[in-house]
Every structure is written in C-alpha cells, then in structure tokens.
Amino acid sequence: MTALDARTAAADLGEVATTLAARFVTWLETGERPPDLFADDVFADLTVPHWRVQAEGVDAVFHLREDEHPFPGTVRVEALDRTSRGFLLQFEERWRDGGQDWYCRELIHAVVTDGRISELAISCTGDWDEERQRLHADQVRLLRP
C-alpha cells in the first residue's frame, strides 16, 4: 500500500504529519528518495535486536536503510498517531530477496521541524527470513495479528 489508508489517516494528524508519513512509506516501498523529506541535519537512531546504529545528515540517514535493506516491498501501516513533536508510525514490511519472503515490524517516532523530519527514533524487530516466520507461526498465537 503506497498511501496511508483512511483508517490510519482518520486520526487528526494535521496535513504536514500525514504528508510526511505517506512520503516516508512510499520511500520504504519504492526506494526512491522523496525530496524535502528530511531536514538537512536529520538524525536517526536505529535499534534492532542486539544492535544500535545512528546516522546524521540526509544522505547518511537514507543510507542507513538503503545499505542494509535496499529491497522494494510492501508496507502495511498499523497505526499513525500525532505526537507533540511529530508522529508515530507503526508498520509491518514484506519483501522478497534471495528467493525468500522476508518480514519485519517497526515503530518510528519522527520529530518534525519546519515541515521536514528532523529526528527519527526507530525500533525494528530485525529481518525475519521464512524459517523465522514459520517458527514464530508454529510457537505463537497472536491475539491481534
């Protein structure tokens, strides 16, 4: 899904936050860098299982994702909420690579300054290959998938 659906956009987010969130999702799905998404001095702090990395500056923040996860895929937005400084975006992502279907789930707090994302705090499950997804499906019954 490229655009945020009506269910997630129904919250009173404000035009800027909704537009930035939609552009962020489009970038995740296509890999095409949208202009003016990030402030020039944007800072990102990414936490994955057992690791944490940071990047500063537009190119470095784009590369934080592109170098480790350059694959287009699909994003299903689970929640989009406004915060006092920006928005929270919760989503799952699926893509194909190396003959396998991959999955991850993320929660991002985006701080917005002057109409652009100036800070990102990203929490990610890490990339689950097909074996990890099968193991999870066999051992866990989700109450709200």
* Strand pairing report for 100-113 and 38-48: unpaired
Specify whether the CB–CB gap between 7 and 104 falls below 8 A. Answer: no
- The sheet with strand 51-56 has its strands ordered as 51-56, 38-48, 116-124, 100-113, 86-97, 73-82
71-91 pLDDT per residue, tens? 889 999 999 999 999 999 999
* pLDDT bucket at 4, cuts 50 / 70 / 90: low
Burial (0-12, 13-18, 19+ Cβ within 10 Å), 35: exposed
Question: Does residue 23 sit in helix, strand or coil?
Answer: helix
What 8-state DSSP symbol labels residue 31? -
Burial (0-12, 13-18, 19+ Cβ within 10 Å), 68: exposed
Q: Domain segments of the chain: what residues?
A: 6-139
The CATH fold assigned to 6-139 is: Nuclear Transport Factor 2; Chain: A, (3.10.450)
105-130 pLDDT per residue, tens? 999 999 999 999 999 999 999 999 99
pTM: 0.87
- Statement: residue 10 has pLDDT above 50: no
